Amino acid sequence: MAVSSSLLKLDQIQGKGRGLIAAQNLKAGQIVLTESPIILYSTFPLFSDSSSSYCDHCFRSISSFSCPSCSRHRFCSQKCLSLALKSSHSSWVCQALSHLRDSGSELLRQSDELQVQACFVVAVYNLSLISPSSVQILLSLMGTPDEAIVKASSFLHSLISSLCPPQDHQLSAELTAQLMAKDRLNSFCLMEPYYPDGPQRSIKAYAIYPTATFFNHDCLPNACRFDYVEDGVPGDEHNTDIVFRMIEDVAEGGEVCISYFRINRDYSTRKRILMEDYGFVCGCERCKIEANWVVDDGDQSSSDFPHEWFLKKYVCEKKNCSGTLAPLPPKDDDEPSDVLECNFCGNLKVEAA
Ligand SMILES: C[S@@+](CC[C@H](N)C(=O)[O-])C[C@H]1O[C@@H](n2cnc3c(N)ncnc32)[C@H](O)[C@@H]1O
């Protein structure tokens, strides 16, 4: 599997499967990977009475150009509309989603989660028509279907294939289950914009990135992800790219890890999410220490919190945020930047000297 960055190498990591290691010494703030998604799909409810307020191709907030066939899916620009009609909103996708939304659709009575999974299945069947090699990449990722996925995939496969039979795709119910399992383990969320006084941000789209998917988790990560979906000009095809930036220096050969969620979560929450969503027990330095903590132990000394400085330095304190801060890229003279950027709200914080 090729890695789309000369700064990272794919390697086997004991107890974790494949992972990404530094191909050379990496500096705090350095951008180590920028990548476009191979599959990207909306979480907007299929049966909502309104249309999404995000472009159905690039997920920016402005949506003013409608699909000429269904007029329900909207785009931020003529360019996104034209691109979508050849890819993410092809005539097959348009037809499949319209059929699914028909009031008689059995999907209407199903859970929100299954409706979002239906959007993934439509997107991946479409991908198999326009880029079969991308489906092979998805199939090579980690992820095995459990009973719930097998059941959901069998329902969705028969529903979508019978409503709108794709001419050429070879995706059986079994392959659909495989692909749904890969999606669950490997997708990244694209979030709604941050507002300090707004409601909790929700997820507007899921995306899978072919190299980024190999980042393993650490509760004290040395890298973190950024995205700039709302930035740039409408029609720019790269606004859904994901960018990974080092939080701290890592020597050549060291593993580069991200956190799969916000880093200020407590031990039991982290343990539960990692087991339920990713199927592993974390053996990182922070977990080893926190596993021994006694709840409400008033006697804990500062040696029980050796990573407290990390949370103070790298957790954003803006209202309603708790994103992760990473330094801006080093300056021209290779000096580390003392400005940290939050990957959730975008706030810039100058580090105290
Ligand atoms: C998105 S994949 C990461 C790439 C994966 N290691 C591979 O070989 O393709 C997530 C999976 O990697 C493994 N993983 C990630 N971080 C881990 C860690 N800290 N300890 C053990 N396994 C980990 C788990 O199996 C998890 O479900």
Pocket test for ligand 1, best of 138, 217, 220 (most atoms within 8 A of CB): 217
For residue 189, give the amino acid letter.
C
Distance (Å, whole) CA 66 – CA 57: 11
Instruction: Specify whether the backbone of 296 is left (phi greater than 0), alpha (psi in -120 to 50) or beta.
Output: left
Distance (Å, whole) CA 78 – CA 84: 10
- Ligand 1 and 16: CB distance under 6 A: yes
pLDDT digit string, tens, across residues 114-139: 999 999 999 999 999 999 999 999 99
Say which residues have a Cβ less than 8 Å from residue 171's Cβ, sequence separation at least 6.
124, 125, 128, 135, 157, 179
For ligand 1, atom 21, name the residue with the nearest CA. 16
- How many angstroms separate the alpha carbon of residue 21 from the centre of ligand 1? 14
Q: Is 0.95 exceeded by the ipTM?
A: yes
pLDDT digit string, tens, across residues 185-244: 999 999 998 888 877 888 999 999 999 999 999 999 999 999 999 887 887 889 999 999
pLDDT digit string, tens, across residues 165-184: 666 667 899 999 999 999 99
- How many angstroms separate the alpha carbon of residue 142 from the centre of ligand 1? 8
- Ligand 1 and 126: CB distance under 6 A: no
pLDDT digit string, tens, across residues 329-340: 998 777 889 999
User: Within 10 A of 302 (CB to CB), how many other CB atoms are there?
Assistant: 7
pLDDT digit string, tens, across residues 52-67: 899 999 999 877 899 9
- Which fold does the domain 8-36+209-292+302-350 belong to in CATH? Beta-clip-like (2.170.270)
Instruction: Specify whether the backbone of 232 is left (phi greater than 0), alpha (psi in -120 to 50) or beta.
Output: left
Give the single-character DSSP code of 193.
P
**Domain boundaries, given as residue ranges, for the chain:** 8-36+209-292+302-350, 39-188
Looking at residues 319-336, what average pLDDT do you find?
89
- How many angstroms separate the alpha carbon of residue 281 from the centre of ligand 1? 10
Query: Coil, helix or strand for 8?
Result: strand
pLDDT digit string, tens, across residues 266-314: 999 999 999 999 999 999 999 999 998 876 555 555 556 788 899 999 9
Q: Atom of ligand 1 at shortest distance to CA of 213?
A: 1
Pocket test for ligand 1, best of 3, 189, 276, 278 (most atoms within 8 A of CB): 278
User: Does the pLDDT of residue 108 top 90, yes or no?
Assistant: no
DSSP string, 70-85: TS-SEESSHHHHHHHH
The mean of the pLDDT values for the chain is 91
